[in-house]
Structures are given as structure tokens and as C-alpha cells.
């Protein structure tokens, strides 16, 4: 069994009287694609926000590669090797596609964003390296010739690819994707599926929130199901799809 990269232990998150996450525990192994599914409002995005430091926990612990990351700031969690994308795309709309990736890369370098703005001599070499690596990443996600255009002019599907490139620019070990194929047509979805497999081959562990059950079942090594903030099932896609609690809570009578 591969080493555990991410360990979530007894995480709860309350918003006033609402229990958005209730004692959720799960582990993601190095090198797997781990799916997180469940009905709208089940707590999936809330869990991502807890994992990536946007929300404080009401209870529980989160460990990345053996080190506690709960209570850490989002940029510290990125620096520890955990990047994400957002359910609602968050790009710099009026920057170019390439610049969007370079911003992600700057989060990772010594010069930092301020150094890049000041363009002092020391940073110029780093700037070149950031530029080259960002171009490589655009190529990697399938946006090779689109770097000069504005991010806001990309198609919806390409904006999602750009978000992934920007996240990859921080050199993550673990990449969390919140509904990365939402709004895409079937052929775009297949292409994204191929990208996820390529990422895993390249050594990135993936945590995937997805509504497209067919995609999840086809791609994921393991799947967890959330319902009303609780983990109601976990296992291989085959096991989870036959679980009566899952069928009742999520898939309805039309189990795939």
C-alpha cells in the first residue's frame, strides 16, 4: 500500500447552527485519484475550504505528508505542496493567459510577486525561468498557442484548463479540483479525464470533486460519498456504486 499523503481526521465545520461537516475522516494515498461525490450542499466545497486553509476547523486535524496543516494559512498550505482550483473559476480576467500561470509560479520563488514588479537585477534570471516554465505548463494542459490572449477571452473549458496550469505552477504534490469539468461537453470531459491521468502519471496525487458520476467511476481509484456533511461511504467505484446508502442518498433509483 502506498504512503498516505493526506490524512483528514474527525473534521467538523459548523456555520452557526448548521453542521456543514460532521466528523469526516479520510486518507488519500500518494499517487491515487481520490473522488469526492455527493448531492449539492453535502459539504464537498466546505471540505476543500477546510483542507486549503480558507476555513478554520470546528474540530479535527489535517495532515499532509505527516505534518499538520490545520490552522495554517492558505499560502503556507500551497507552499507545503497542496494546490487547488475553485468551483467558481477565479482567474485574473484582464491579465494574459501566460501571466495568470506566472502569478502561480511567483508564489513559489524567492523573488516573490513584489520582486517581479520591481524587476531588480537578481530577479531577472528567475523571471526568465518562470516565463519558460509557465509556457511549458500551458503546453501541458493544452493551451500551447493561447498564452498571449486575455484570460477572459478563453472559452469556459479553456479557463478551467488555465486554472489547472496556474495551480500546477506551484509544484503541488496534491492537487484538489472542485468540479473541474462542470459546464463542459462530453468530448471536453474526455479530454480532461485524459489530462487527469497524465497528471497522475507525472506524480501528482488528485483529489477530485465531481458531479459527473460516469467520469468519477471511470477515473478514480477510490471514492468517498458525503451526504449532509457526513461520509456515508468510501471504497472503489464498484463498491460505492452498489452501496445501498449511496444509492438512496445520492444516486436515487437510477444507479449508474
- Report the interface residues with ligand ADP, using CB under 6 A: 15, 18, 20, 38, 40-46
User: Which residue has cell 475550504?
Assistant: 49
- 85 near Mg ion (CB under 5 A): no
User: What DSSP designation does 161 have?
Assistant: H
Q: Which residue is nearest to Mg ion (CB)?
A: 45
Q: Residue 156 binds what, of ligand ADP, Mg ion, none (CB under 5 to 8 Å, by partner type)?
A: none
Measured between alpha carbons, how far is 141 from 195 in angstroms, rounded to an integer? Answer: 7
Cα 159-194-170 angle, rounded to 5 deg: 55
Please pick, from the candidates 8, 45, 130, 164, the single residue that binds Mg ion as defined by CB under 5 A: 45
By beta-carbon proximity to Mg ion, the closer residue of 200 and 211 is 211
Q: Which stretch binds Mg ion (CB under 5 A): 85-93, 111-119, 187-195, 211-219?
A: 85-93
By beta-carbon proximity to ligand ADP, the closer residue of 55 and 92 is 55
32-61 residues labelled b (16+ CB within 10 A) or e (exposed): bbbbbbbbeebbbbbbbbbbbbebebeebe
* Contact between 25 and 211 (Cβ < 8 Å): no
Measured between alpha carbons, how far is 56 from 42 in angstroms, rounded to an integer? Answer: 18
Please, what sign has the CA dihedral across residues 197, 180, 97, 165? negative
Residues in contact with Mg ion, total (CB under 5 A)?
Answer: 3
- Shortest Cβ 41–Mg ion spacing (Å): 8
Q: Residue 43 binds what, of ligand ADP, Mg ion, none (CB under 5 to 8 Å, by partner type)?
A: ligand ADP
By beta-carbon proximity to ligand ADP, the closer residue of 38 and 237 is 38
- Shortest Cβ 25–ligand ADP spacing (Å): 17
Q: Which residues contact Mg ion by CB under 5 A?
A: 44-45, 87
Amino acid at each position: 500500500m502506498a504512503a498516505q499523503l493526506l490524512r483528514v481526521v474527525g473534521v467538523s465545520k459548523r456555520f452557526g447552527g448548521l453542521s456543514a461537516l460532521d466528523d469526516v475522516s479520510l486518507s488519500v494515498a500518494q499517487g491515487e485519484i481520490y473522488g469526492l461525490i455527493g448531492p449539492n450542499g453535502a459539504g464537498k466545497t466546505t471540505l476543500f475550504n477546510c483542507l486549503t486553509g480558507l476555513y478554520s476547523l470546528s474540530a479535527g486535524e489535517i495532515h499532509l505528508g505527516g505534518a499538520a496543516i490545520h490552522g495554517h494559512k492558505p499560502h503556507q498550505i500551497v507552499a507545503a505542496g497542496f494546490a487547488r482550483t475553485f468551483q467558481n473559476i477565479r482567474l485574473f480576467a484582464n491579465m494574459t493567459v501566460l501571466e495568470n500561470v506566472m502569478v502561480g509560479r511567483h508564489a513559489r520563488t524567492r523573488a516573490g510577486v513584489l520582486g517581479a514588479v520591481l524587476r531588480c537585477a537578481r530577479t531577472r534570471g528567475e523571471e526568465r525561468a518562470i516565463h519558460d516554465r509557465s509556457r511549458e505548463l500551458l503546453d501541458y494542459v493544452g493551451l500551447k498557442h493561447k498564452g498571449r490572449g486575455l484570460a477572459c477571452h478563453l472559452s469556459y473549458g479553456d479557463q478551467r484548463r488555465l486554472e489547472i496550469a496556474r495551480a500546477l505552477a506551484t509544484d503541488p504534490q496534491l492537487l484538489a479540483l472542485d468540479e473541474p469539468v462542470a459546464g463542459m461537453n462530453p468530448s471536453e470531459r474526455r479530454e480532461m479525464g485524459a489530462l487527469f491521468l497524465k497528471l497522475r502519471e507525472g506524480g501528482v496525487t488528485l483529489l477530485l470533486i465531481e458531479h459527473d458520476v460516469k467520469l468519477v467511476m471511470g477515473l478514480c481509484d477510490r471514492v468517498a460519498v458525503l451526504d449532509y456533511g457526513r461520509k456515508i461511504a468510501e471504497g472503489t467505484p464498484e463498491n460505492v456504486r452498489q452501496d445501498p446508502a449511496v444509492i438512496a442518498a445520492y444516486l436515487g433509483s437510477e444507479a449508474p
